[in-house]
Chains A and B, each alone.
Chain A
Amino acid sequence: MIYLFYLLVYGFLLTAALGLFASWVDRKVTARVQYRIGPPLLQPLIDIVKLMGKETLIPRGASRNTFLLSPVAGLSSVILASALLWVVGLRPGDGFLGDWIVAIYLLTIPSISIIVGGFASGNPLASLGSSREMKLVLAYELPFVLAALVPVIRAGLILRLGDIVVAQQIAGATATSLSGIIALIVAILCVQAKLALVPFDIPEAETEIIHGPLVDYSGSSLALYRLMKNMLLFTLPFFLVILYLGGIRLTGIHILWSVLKYLVLVAIITVIRNTNPRVRIDQALRFFWGPVTILSVIAVVLAVLGL
């Protein structure tokens, strides 16, 4: 029963509300950076409600079931991942051995659902975007996993997120050490690519392949994809907070700290998105497999040495 409660209330409702709010923060900060006023607070929610009421078109030549089911798969994996992270964040003792691996693969499924949905729609632009997304996943997964290993090594090689949080509460956050800082930088870059935000928005490049994999989606399936992306905008920084910044605590002054940690991460992501041009897919691949992977390997070595 308690798991169902976590899944529905924390995993879905709270994450969706916070994700929509984060997406509003993102749009508002973008607008302010460009000297605009920006959308009202409820705008992301209104967008979702509107898309729910629109007609869902299925293109001729698309494989119908895959086309309609892939957004559902992506959204449900985000809900599962965020429920898991909430359990770990609020009650560190309640995780299970290996939930680090589960969280990482659940956070990969949204990208895979976008790839599958794009190929299923049968649109040439969508398949172009999907193949780019596939290359991007191959590019950022390796440094992301290496960077996520650093807190595990520092917590004494236990693949349990709860123990990572507890170890950080005893010995200070991962990001207070040299290896932790390097790993955090690598992880922020990978999160930027995972969210498909500007330097790495190659799969959905609006100006060249008009939203890539999502080009043929409309109505409620597009709403599910948007909700999924908004929830990822909450879940991924939350994962970084747990891994590197000592998790969250909802007691007294710690509430303020937790919110501040999360907001700083979102602000960094938004500022990176607003001050960079889009790179090409080969440049992104070279960037992630070259300097970023080297940095993450250095971070792992430093963590093993205990720095």
Chain B
Amino acid sequence: MSMKLKALLKSPWVFHLSTGSCNNCDIEVLDCLTPRFDIERFGMLLAGSIKHADVLLVTGSCNRMSVERMKRMYEQVPRPCLVVAIGECALSRGMFIHSYNCPVPLDQIIPVDVYIPGCPPKPEAIIAGVVKLIEKVGSKT
């Protein structure tokens, strides 16, 4: 594995992007940073600016208004970057599947590396998902 990617997997800074979620997934993402789960021991930090991020955590149902903004955000992440879809809405649009406002799920808009199902997923599930992401990227190269 290249040095670049190895370092990336040891210090993935996450940026947390909501595309119209009900805020539940976002609260669970923030829970991961609390003393009980403490993801900083894996080197993860919550990045305030998208330009500092390595991993994009996307929650929400990707409605027509937010999709444009999300694409713009995705273009601004410095490469190499990874995308994680969190929650039922981002995976398959959940209860909004028949809505006029949510035409396609997230993975048809931008490439997604790992899916974390749940409505909302527990912090344990999010950590397990990130571990899977690290294993997947680590074994691919």
Contact = CB atoms under 8 A, between A and B. Distances in A.
Physical interaction between A and B: yes
Interface in B82-130: none
Interface stretch (A89-97, A193-201, A207-215, A299-307): A207-215
B7 A53 contact: yes
B40 A50 contact: no
How many chain A residues sit at the interface, stated as a range, is 20 to 34
Nearest to A217: B51
A282 interface: no
Contact of B11 (A35, A47, A214, A218): A47
A54 B80 contact: yes
A38 B41 contact: yes
A54 B78 contact: yes
B54 A54 contact: yes
B3 A40 contact: no
B35 A50 contact: no
Nearest to B2: A53
B49 interface: yes
B140 interface: no
Nearest to B79: A55
Contact of B35 (A36, A47, A217): A36
A67 B5 CA distance: 26
A219 interface: yes
Contacts of B49: 210-211, 214-216
Interface string B1-13: 0111101101100
Contacts of A43: 10-11, 43
Interface of B: 2-5, 7-8, 10-11, 35, 38, 40-41, 43, 48-49, 51-52, 54, 76, 78-80
- What 9 pairs across the A-B complex have the smallest Cβ distances? A53-B4, A210-B48, A50-B7, A55-B78, A218-B51, A36-B38, A49-B7, A218-B78, A215-B49
